[in-house]
Amino acid sequence: MSFWEVTQFLLDGFYISLLIFAVTLVCGAPLGLPIAFCSMSRFKPVKAISKVVVWIVRGVPLMLQIFIIYYAPGLLFKDQIPLFSRLDRYFFINYGINDAGRIIAVLIAFTINYACYFSEIYRGGIESISKGQYEAGYVLGLTKQQIFRKIILKQVIQRIVPPMSNEIITLIKDTALANCIVVCEIIKQANELAATKALIWPLFYTGAFYLLFVGMLTIILGKVEKKLSYFRS
Amino acid sequence: MALLIAENLKKNFGKTEVLKGISFSLEKGQVLAIIGSSGSGKTTLLRCLNFLELPDEGSITVGDKVLIDCAKAETLDDETIRQNRLHFGLVFQNFNLFPQYSVLGNVTLAPTLLKKGTPEEIEANARRLLDQVGLSDKLENYPHQLSGGQQQRVAIARALALQPEVLCFDEPTSALDPELTGEVLRVIRGLKNRDTTMIVVTHEMEFAREVADVVMYMADGVIEEMGTPEQVFDNPQSEKTRSFLHGAHEKF
Ligand SMILES: Nc1ncnc2c1ncn2[C@@H]1O[C@H](COP(=O)(O)OP(=O)(O)O)[C@@H](O)[C@H]1O
Ligand SMILES: [Mg+2]
């Protein structure tokens, strides 16, 4: 196989890695917000449930969570063929894609997992804003919503950009875990070449894809951070 | 008739009684200076007036409007509390400016959100106030680019922008380097000349004597002594007041 053929083959896998990355970010980042608010709720049961969920999700390996999401529906409903295998078959028959069901399982696991990590970053950011900022808003006769939207939010965003950047960079590398239920992400593709064509170098070559992407992310996130550095809170 | 009447205000935090029955009244245009050692409840009193805390007992009346009367069973909803706050302004010890807004933005934010006029009117008013506190050349700066004294003057302009009936100051110069207190005190003096009704918690005794119509000395949650500056500073009746003033004098 030529270098370009290998590149093409690995790119097919990297698109899946990028898909997992994008969906996790687009779904997980907003989902983290209600979880953060639950964790800060004054209503004790909501707070407790939220804290336990976050504790479990952050305390258990993501790989295990992928397995659990993948196998749990079948066990729960005493179904011989797991839900996601059915989806796999459905998509294969109708669209000729062979791992769509498993990709969905991975997307669910990643989204939940990252939403919990994000929620802790949001919570830390929100709780780090001094009480004085809220009180300054209150004495000016502003409502709670106005204070949050117009005063607190931007300060929180400024503070969470660096930890979010770390999480986002970890996320692209974590997509390799999809491997565990045989989703054809880039490392799975490289392994495929090792198994069928006895080519080892493509496995090392995958590193270049990650590095390129992380480099891009670093530049973009650095720009965002810089853009928000015009004030100091 | 008095503009502000506070009657028998009491406030507990758990088991500690912080305010033990504070009563006073203030005429329109008067300046009340509150002095007293730390922990005597001065901040808590200002916070009750600004509805950052709700008193456990007592009542607060502004003009002919009873804002809160703890003797009545009703609990105030968020909207009523918010409306009540608009009668007062509060300038904090540590300014609490909004860091992501420029000087001008800090002053226009609340009037804009509360729709207190057209954007042009609000901005013109903010420029006028910032000119009044001597910051016309800093309109586009951000709070972190200002000295403490400048930040406090922005905070005063921000509070004035909503035209509160009573403007409260909680130790406005305590967080400042000594050489910066003058510019803030000058602004407060200027407000007195414009007949702004003010309550100023301060440790600056000379300033209190000069600017106040009434001086209140608080100790352990009660008003130990209250009167004109001459009465309180030159002829204190209570032993506690005498020893406090003596101690304050020693420091300088
Ligand atoms: N939120 C609070 N919870 C518990 N105790 C408080 C709270 N706020 C103030 N206190 C207590 O009330 C007392 C008076 O405080 P404060 O009003 O800040 O006094 P001052 O401003 O005169 O120094 C202090 O003993 C303080 O510890
Ligand atoms: Mg105080």
Among B10, B11, B16, which is best to mutate for testing ligand 1, by the most ligand atoms less than 8 A from CB?
B16
Interface size A-B, in CB pairs within 8 Å, comes to 68
Residues of chain A above pLDDT 70, percent: 99
Q: Do B99 and A230 touch (CB under 8 A)?
A: no
Identity of residue A83: L
Answer yes or no: is A123 within a domain: yes
Looking at the predicted structure, is the pLDDT value of residue B251 above 70? no
Q: What's the average model confidence in pLDDT over B101-108?
A: 98
pLDDT above 80 for B201? yes
Q: What's the mean pLDDT in A40-46?
A: 96
Query: Is a pLDDT exceeding 80 seen at residue B98?
Result: yes
What pLDDT sits at residue B96?
Answer: 97
Confidence of residue B223 (pLDDT cuts 50, 70, 90): very high
Looking at residue A99, what is its pLDDT?
A: 85
Residue A149 lies in a domain: no
- CA B152 to chain A, closest CA, distance in angstroms equals 13
A116 within some domain: yes
Chain A residues close to B162, C-beta within 8 Å: 140-141
- What is the mean pLDDT of the segment spanning B213-233? 96
Residue A144 within a domain: no
Could you write out the three-class secondary structure of chain A? CCHHHHHHHHHHHHHHHHHHHHHHHHHHHHHHHHHHHHHCCCCHHHHHHHHHHHHHHHHCCHHHHHHHHHHHHHHHCCCCCCHHHHHHHHHHHHHCCCCHHHHHHHHHHHHHHHHHHHHHHHHHHHHCCCHHHHHHHHHCCCCHHHHHHHHHHHHHHHHHHHHHHHHHHHHHHHHHHHHHHCCCCHHHHHHHHHHHHCCCHHHHHHHHHHHHHHHHHHHHHHHHHHHHHHCCC
> Per the domain annotation, does A151 fall within a domain?
no
- Cβ-defined contact of B83 to A141 (cutoff 8 Å): yes
- Shortest CA distance to B45 belongs to which of A225, B54, A51, B235? B54
What pLDDT, on the 0 to 100 scale, is given for residue B39? 95
**A86 pLDDT higher than 90:** no
Band (B247; pLDDT cuts 50, 70, 90):
confident
Confidence of residue A50 (pLDDT cuts 50, 70, 90): very high
Judge: B142–A231 Cβ closer than 8 Å, yes or no: yes
Tell me the CATH number at A187: 1.10.3720.10
pLDDT at A180: 94
Per-residue pLDDT tens over the stretch A109-155? 999 999 999 999 999 999 999 999 999 999 999 999 999 999 999 99
Residue A135 lies in a domain: no
Mean pLDDT of chain B: 95
Ligand 1 near B202 CB (within 6 A): no
Contact B98 A136 (CB under 8 A): yes
At residue B252 the predicted structure's pLDDT band, cuts being 50, 70 and 90, is low
Reported as a single tens digit per residue, the pLDDT across B42-95 is: 999 999 999 999 999 999 999 999 999 999 878 899 999 999 999 999 999 999
Note whether A142 contacts B: Cβ–Cβ < 8 A.
yes
Q: Answer yes or no: is pLDDT of B37 > 60.
A: yes
In a 3-state reduction of DSSP, which class is residue B186? helix
**Count of domains forming chain A:** 1
Confidence label for A176 from pLDDT (cuts 50, 70 and 90): very high
Task: Establish if A134 belongs to a structural domain.
Answer: no
Which ligand has the nearest atom to the CA of B16? 1
Higher pLDDT, B12 or A99: B12
* Domain-embedded: residue A110: yes
Query: Which one-letter DSSP state was computed for residue B74?
Result: P
**Whole-prediction pTM value?**
0.91
Question: Looking at beta carbons, which residues of chain B come within 8 Å of A139?
Answer: 50, 52, 85, 88-90, 159
What pLDDT is attached to residue A87? 85
Q: What is the pLDDT of residue A92?
A: 87
Residue B104 has pLDDT above 90, yes or no: yes
> With 90 as the cut, is the pLDDT of residue B3 above it?
yes
Mean pLDDT, chain A, rounded, equals 94
Model confidence pLDDT, tens digit, residues B136-152: 999 999 999 999 999 99
Question: Which residues constitute the domain of residue A47?
Answer: 3-128+161-231
Give mean pLDDT, residues B163-173.
Answer: 97
As a whole number of angstroms, the distance between CA A65 and CA A180 comes to 11
pLDDT-derived band at A193 (thresholds 50, 70, 90) equals very high
B74 alpha carbon to ligand 2 midpoint, in Å? 29
Q: Note whether ipTM > 0.90 here.
A: yes
Confidence of residue A91 (pLDDT cuts 50, 70, 90): confident
Contact B100 A146 (CB under 8 A): no
Is the distance from the beta carbon of residue B40 to the nearest atom of ligand 1 less than 6 Å? yes
